[in-house]
A and B are shown apart, each in its own frame.
Chain A
Amino acid sequence: MNAREEVLARLRSALGDGPAEVAVPRAYRRDSSHDPDQLAELFADRLADYRAGVHRTSVDRLAETVAALLSAGGPLAVPPDVPQPWLGAYDGRVLVDGTPAPLGTETLDGVASVLTGCATAIAETGTIVLDGGPAQGRRLLTLIPDHHICVVPVTDIVGTVPEGLERLVPTRPLTFISGPSATSDIELRRVEGVHGPRRLDVVLVR
C-alpha cells in the first residue's frame, strides 16, 4: 500500500464509530451596520493603530497626494497597469514592472517605493487585500521595496472579514496586509518593521 492509500485507510478506520453529522451554525455577523463614511473612518482608525500612514484625498487631488508621499525621491516601482493619472504630479524616476522586462529582485531592492491599488479593504481589521488584479501587480512588487503606497477608493472598503472574503476569487494569489511589517517576538511587544515594507501609506480616495 502506498502512503496515500495507507493514510486514507487509517483515517477511515479511525472514523469507525461513524461520528454524527455536525451542524455548523453561522450566527456571527456578516456585515457591520456602518455607512460608507463610518467605514472609512473606522478603517483609518485601525490603520493608524498599526502605525500605517493614512491620507485622505479626492480623485482630483490624488496625484498631488501621491507625489507628496514620494518627496524623498528615489525610483518608484509600479505595476504595468497602474492608472497614469495617479502619477500625474510625480516627476521622479518610475520603473514599470514588465516594461520592457519584469523587474528583478535586485532592482526592486534598490527602489524606494512602490505604488499600487488593491482588490478590497476591510475596515474592522484595517486590512487591504491584494489579489494581483488591476493596479496591483506581482506579489514581490509590494514586498521588496521598503515603502508601499496603496490607493484605496472609499467605495472599496467593506466592514467585516466575511464581507471582504466574499469579494475575492479564492484561486488568485492573495495577500492580506494590515499595517507595516511587525513582530511581537521580543517580550511579546509589537515592534513595526522587519522584513516586509517598514512604511505603509494608505491613500483613501473619496
Chain B
Amino acid sequence: MNAAHGKGHLYGPARFERAARTELAKPQLRENLRHATHTIRDKRAEVVDELPDWEQLRESGRAIKAQVARRLPELLERFEAAAVRAGATVHWARDAEEACRIVTGLVQETGASEAVKVKSMTTQEIGLNEALEAAGIGAYETDLAELIVQLADDASSHILVPAIHYNREEIRDIFRQRMPGAADTLSDAPEELAEAARTHLRRRFLSARVAVSGANFAVADTGTLVVVESEGNGRMCLTLPDTLISVVGIDKLVPSFADLEVYLQLLPRSSTGERMNPYTSLWTGVTPGDGPQRMHIVLLDNGRSATLADPVGRQALSCIRCSACLNVCPVYERTGGHAYGSVYPGPIGAIISPQLTGVAENTSLPYASSLCGACNDVCPVKIDITDVLVRLRGQAVDSKRGSPSAERVAMRLLSWVMSDPRRYDRALRAARRGTAPLAALLGGRRTIRHLPWPLSAWTSSRDAPLPAAESFREWWQREQAQRGETP
C-alpha cells in the first residue's frame, strides 16, 4: 500500500527561509520571543534538575513510545474495544477532511450551533474551526492563548503557548479592541487579562452543549483519555457539556494506565516548567450522572501511518507536544512559529510537518536548523531530532532528483573532487592560485566583504577569509623534505 500523506495546516505559502526573513524584520516580535523562551527555558531547567531520576524517566518515556510504534495496530484495536465498552463511540478518520466531516456531522446531530473547544493541536492541524464555521457552527477556543490568537484573527506560533509572539501590551490591545464586553480601561497586568478572559467565557461554559477536545494521551488497556491543562477551561469543556467529541491522533496511545506515571512526570516539567500542571483530567467513556453523557472519539491518521513507515523518521511519532525543543531552539527563538508555516513549528515541527505531508511537499523545513542539537538534549522522550532532520534532508534532495539544480551540480562536483586525493590536491592549489590576485589586490588583508552568488549569502552578514598562502599539505611536504624524508 502506498503511503497516504496528510493534509491541513502543515505548510505555509512561503519557504521557511523567506518567511523567516519577514519575521526577523519585526524587532518587537524578537524581543517578545527572546524574553518568553528564556523565561521558560530557565524554569524547565530548574524543575528538571530537581528530579534525580530524570534520565531514567526519559529513557522509559522513549522506550514506551518506541514500543507503541511497533504495536500500533494492535494497541488501537485494544483502545477502541475498551472505549466502546465504557460507553464511547469510536470513529476513524483517514485524513483531515474526513475527521472534519465526522466532527461537523456529530455537532449537527446534537442541534447545537456552537461548540466550546479545549486547546488541541490535532484539531488545528486538520483545520477543524474553519470546517465547523463553514457549516455554520461557531467554534470557540477557550484556552487563554488560543483565545487571544482567535480574537486577533491570527495563527498560533507555539505548540504550548500559541500567543507567545505577543507581549502583555499587545494582548491588552487585542482584548480592548476585539473582546466583546472588555473595558477600555483594561490594564496590561496578566492577572487582569486572565480575569477578563474568565468573565468573557463564563456564560459560554455554563451553557455549552457540545465540546471538542484533543487528548494528550490515550490508554489502550482502559480506553481512557487524558487532557493536561492549567486554566480549568479544559475541565469546563470536559465536564459541563452533554456531548464531548475528542479528536485523537493515533500517535497518542500509551499501552497501559501505569505508563502515565512516566509521562505525567516528563510532560509538565518539560512544557511549562512546573512540577505538575494545575489540572489533569482522565476519563473513560461515559460516567452516568457525571460529565458528558455522549462521548465520541475520532481516531486520526492524516499522515501518521506514512510517518511510521520510515524507520528513522517514525520516532517523531513519540512526541508528547511539550514544546521544550522550541524553547531552546536558537532558530525558533529568532523567527517565531509563523515562519514554519505549520501548526507544528520549531525543531519538532521541522520533522513532523514534512513527514505528515510527505517531504516533497515541504522541502524547506528540514533545513530550518543549524543542527546544533539543543533540542535533542531537552526532548523528554529522547527523539534524535537532528538525526531525523538529516534523514529528511536526504529525502528532500531525492525528491528533486528529477529536476536540474545548481546546488546538486556543485555537490556532485565537490564529491568527485573530494573522493580522489589527486583531484583534491589540484583543486586546493587552483583555489589558492585563483584567489591569489584577489589577495594581492586586498593587500595584506586576507578577508573579503563580497563573494559572488551563491556564497553572497555568506558575506551578507560576515566577511569571508581567503585560502591560506600555503596549504597544510604543502607545509607538510616542505617539512618532510627538510627532515630529509620523502613525503
Cβ-defined partner of A195 (8 Å) among B205, B264, B281: B205
User: Contact mask B210-233 → A, CB, 8 Å, 1/0?
Assistant: 000000000101111000001111
Q: Is the CB of B260 within 8 A of A14?
A: no
Chain A contacts of B291 at CB under 8 A?
A: 138-140, 173
Q: Is the CB of B73 within 8 A of A170?
A: no
How far does the alpha carbon of A46 sit from the alpha carbon of B275 in the complex, in Å?
9
Cβ-defined partner of B1 (8 Å) among A10, A22, A50, A194: A10
Can you name 9 A-B pairs with beta carbons within 8 Å? Answer: A11-B305, A22-B66, A24-B63, A24-B64, A161-B264, A175-B282, A183-B194, A184-B272, A196-B235
In the complex, A72 has a CB within 8 A of chain B: no
Chain B nearest CB from A19 CB (Å) reads: 5
Q: Is the CB of B53 within 8 A of A29?
A: yes
Q: Is the CB of A4 within 8 A of B56?
A: no
Chain B contacts of A191 at CB under 8 A?
A: 190-191, 194
> Which of B86, B232, B272 has the largest number of chain A CB atoms within 10 A?
B232
If A132-B287, A176-B276, A195-B198 touch, does A171 touch B224 (CB 8 Å cutoff)?
Answer: yes
Cβ-defined partner of A177 (8 Å) among B205, B219, B278: B278
Q: Is the CB of B301 within 8 A of A7?
A: yes
How far does the alpha carbon of A124 sit from the alpha carbon of B54 in the complex, in Å?
14
Q: Is the CB of B232 within 8 A of A181?
A: yes
Q: Is the CB of B276 within 8 A of A187?
A: no
Chain A contacts of B43 at CB under 8 A?
A: 188
If A26-B60, A188-B40, A194-B233 touch, does A138 touch B276 (CB 8 Å cutoff)?
Answer: no
The residue on A at minimum CB distance from B38 is A188
Q: Is the CB of B289 within 8 A of A102?
A: yes
Cβ-defined partner of A184 (8 Å) among B171, B230, B240: B230
Chain B contacts of A124 at CB under 8 A?
A: 275
Q: Is the CB of B206 within 8 A of A11?
A: no
Chain A contacts of B21 at CB under 8 A?
A: none
Q: Is the CB of A185 within 8 A of B144?
A: yes
Q: Is the CB of A173 within 8 A of B275?
A: no
Chain B contacts of A24 at CB under 8 A?
A: 60, 63-64, 67
Chain A contacts of B400 at CB under 8 A?
A: none
In the complex, A100 has a CB within 8 A of chain B: no
How far does the alpha carbon of A166 sit from the alpha carbon of B284 in the complex, in Å?
17
If A7-B250, A26-B60, A196-B235 touch, does A126 touch B276 (CB 8 Å cutoff)?
Answer: yes
Chain B nearest CB from A144 CB (Å) reads: 8
Chain B nearest CB from A147 CB (Å) reads: 13
Chain A contacts of B91 at CB under 8 A?
A: 3
Chain B contacts of A173 at CB under 8 A?
A: 281-284, 287, 290-291
Chain B nearest CB from A100 CB (Å) reads: 15
Chain A contacts of B391 at CB under 8 A?
A: none
Chain A contacts of B145 at CB under 8 A?
A: 185
How far does the alpha carbon of A176 sit from the alpha carbon of B278 in the complex, in Å?
8
Chain A contacts of B272 at CB under 8 A?
A: 184, 190
Taking CB atoms and an 8 Å cut-off, the chain B residues in 237-265 that contact chain A are 238-240, 250, 257-258, 260-262, 264-265
A-B contacts besides A194-B231, A195-B198, 18 pairs, CB < 8 Å: A3-B98, A10-B3, A10-B4, A14-B306, A19-B70, A24-B63, A140-B239, A165-B260, A170-B222, A173-B283, A173-B287, A177-B279, A178-B274, A181-B231, A185-B145, A187-B35, A187-B36, A187-B167
If A14-B306, A17-B311, A25-B56 touch, does A143 touch B236 (CB 8 Å cutoff)?
Answer: yes
Chain A contacts of B222 at CB under 8 A?
A: 170-171
If A7-B94, A8-B77 touch, does A193 touch B195 (CB 8 Å cutoff)?
Answer: yes
How far does the alpha carbon of A173 sit from the alpha carbon of B322 in the complex, in Å?
24
Interface residues of B, count at CB 8 A: 102
Q: Is the CB of A27 within 8 A of B59?
A: yes
Taking CB atoms and an 8 Å cut-off, the chain A residues in 27-82 that contact chain B are 27-29, 46, 49-50
User: Contact mask A139-164 → B, CB, 8 Å, 1/0?
Assistant: 11001100000000000000001100
In the complex, A2 has a CB within 8 A of chain B: yes
Chain A nearest CB from B334 CB (Å) reads: 17
The residue on A at minimum CB distance from B302 is A7
Q: Is the CB of B231 within 8 A of A196?
A: yes
If A26-B60, A171-B284, A182-B278 touch, does A10 touch B239 (CB 8 Å cutoff)?
Answer: no
Chain B nearest CB from A109 CB (Å) reads: 6
In the complex, A206 has a CB within 8 A of chain B: no
Q: Is the CB of A6 within 8 A of B94?
A: yes
In the complex, A21 has a CB within 8 A of chain B: yes
Chain B nearest CB from A66 CB (Å) reads: 23
> Which of B73, B202, B222 has the largest number of chain A CB atoms within 10 A?
B73
In the complex, B32 has a CB within 8 A of chain A: yes
Chain A contacts of B36 at CB under 8 A?
A: 187-188
Q: Is the CB of A183 within 8 A of B231?
A: yes
If A4-B92, A11-B73, A181-B231 touch, does A174 touch B195 (CB 8 Å cutoff)?
Answer: no
In the complex, B201 has a CB within 8 A of chain A: yes
Cβ-defined partner of A186 (8 Å) among B73, B193, B223: B193
